Amino acid sequence: MLLAFALVTVLGCGVTAYMTLQAISADAARHAALLEEEVRQTSQKIEAYLNERQRVVRVFVQEHLDLVNRFEQNPESETLRQEIGNLLRQQFPSYFTFTIAGPNGSDLVNDIDGLVGQACQLNIQEYIHQLRGAEHGEAHYRTVIHPQAGHYHFDVMSPRADADELKGVFFVSFFPGPLVTIIRANQAPGHVLSVVNTDQPDLLEFSADGARDKISLKRDIRLSDSEMDSVMARAEIPHSRWRVIGSVRPEILAQERADRWVTAISIMIALTVGFMATAFWVTRR
């Protein structure tokens, strides 16, 4: 009888340990499935946001083409510049700055504030090159975060055309606040969603903490090897240099494993105590 009870106790402890390992694996699979959905939703919403920004900027150029053309002819006019800036500011709460480029990609505006950096100008020239090789002006600028001290931003460009002749590009910069809001809205508790640069997969572009300038106040702007290995889900954002990645905070997984093992050990202790009590009772009998 004691041998039978001992066998049942050992078997019960073994089953408990096995079920605990299975539950830990199920927890990881559950997190991975949730992250896949969060990353997919975030990617789609950011893509939709960028497409809408592109559409609205294009509409803005069409509606105010006369004003834009007048400013192109007189780029030194601070009055025209402020008028366009005020219109953009009214329509886009996250508006940062704008400029106008010619058909060769050169900046036509005297940027006395230095808001349109060299990276922006290179991207304008890249976009002009794409427009010349595209049909019906359907080229897509690959959005990226531009690091500028105190003004981290991303750009949206719209072609300016007169009939079939490309006259240049209308270029608008935006602060990344709305993109950060999208991540926050889709990030479940205990999960970490971030957007990285596809050309440099370990370089953070923005996360729920903000763009890279805000992230750098809390941590390194590059993911460590262990952080790269812990990524459970990823999704590309079309027409950008961005990829959404998702992982679980290490302390969350550690706590869940600890909770599972505390429960399992409690069950095994209960089985062992039950066996000892039974053995004592059988021996007394």
Residue ranges of the domains in the chain?
A: 48-176, 178-249
Higher pLDDT, residue 4 or 135: 4
Closest C-alpha to 247, from 35, 45, 47? 35
Q: How confident is the model over 239-255, as pLDDT tens digits?
A: 889 999 999 998 998 99
pLDDT at 127: 80
Task: Give percent of the chain above pLDDT 90.
Answer: 44
Q: Enter the tokens of residue 273.
A: 């105590």
Task: Give percent of the chain above pLDDT 70.
Answer: 92
pLDDT at 179: 94
Q: Which CATH superfamily is domain 48-176 in?
A: PAS domain (3.30.450.20)
Residue 214: Cβ-neighbour burial (10 angstroms; 0-12, 13-18, 19+): middle
CB 176 within 8 A of CB 154: yes
Instruction: Judge whether residue 229 has pLDDT over 90.
Output: yes
Q: Which residues contact 34 (CB under 8 A, 6 or more apart)?
A: 188, 191
Average confidence (pLDDT) over 87-99: 89
Tell me how crowded residue 159 is: count the other CB atoms within 10 A of its CB: 20
pLDDT at 133: 64
56, 178, 218, 147 alpha-carbon torsion, rounded to 10°: 10
pLDDT at 112: 47
pLDDT at 192: 95
Q: How much is the mean pLDDT over the chain?
A: 86
pLDDT at 135: 58
Pairing of strands 242-248, 191-197: antiparallel
pLDDT at 144: 84
Q: How far is CA 279 from the centre of its chain?
A: 60
pLDDT band at 110 (very low <50, low <70, confident <90, very high): low
pLDDT at 274: 83
Average confidence (pLDDT) over 16-44: 94
Count of positions (residues) in the chain: 285
Q: How confident is the model over 131-190, as pLDDT tens digits?
A: 766 655 566 777 888 887 777 888 888 888 776 677 888 889 899 999 999 999 999 999
CB 156 within 8 A of CB 140: no
pLDDT band at 24 (very low <50, low <70, confident <90, very high): very high
Average confidence (pLDDT) over 186-214: 93
pTM here is 0.83
CB 238 within 8 A of CB 226: no
Closest C-alpha to 86, from 71, 75, 97, 70? 97
Q: How confident is the model over 38-88, as pLDDT tens digits?
A: 999 999 999 999 999 989 998 998 899 889 888 888 888 889 989 999 999
Closest C-alpha to 223, from 192, 252, 251, 253? 192
pLDDT band at 114 (very low <50, low <70, confident <90, very high): low
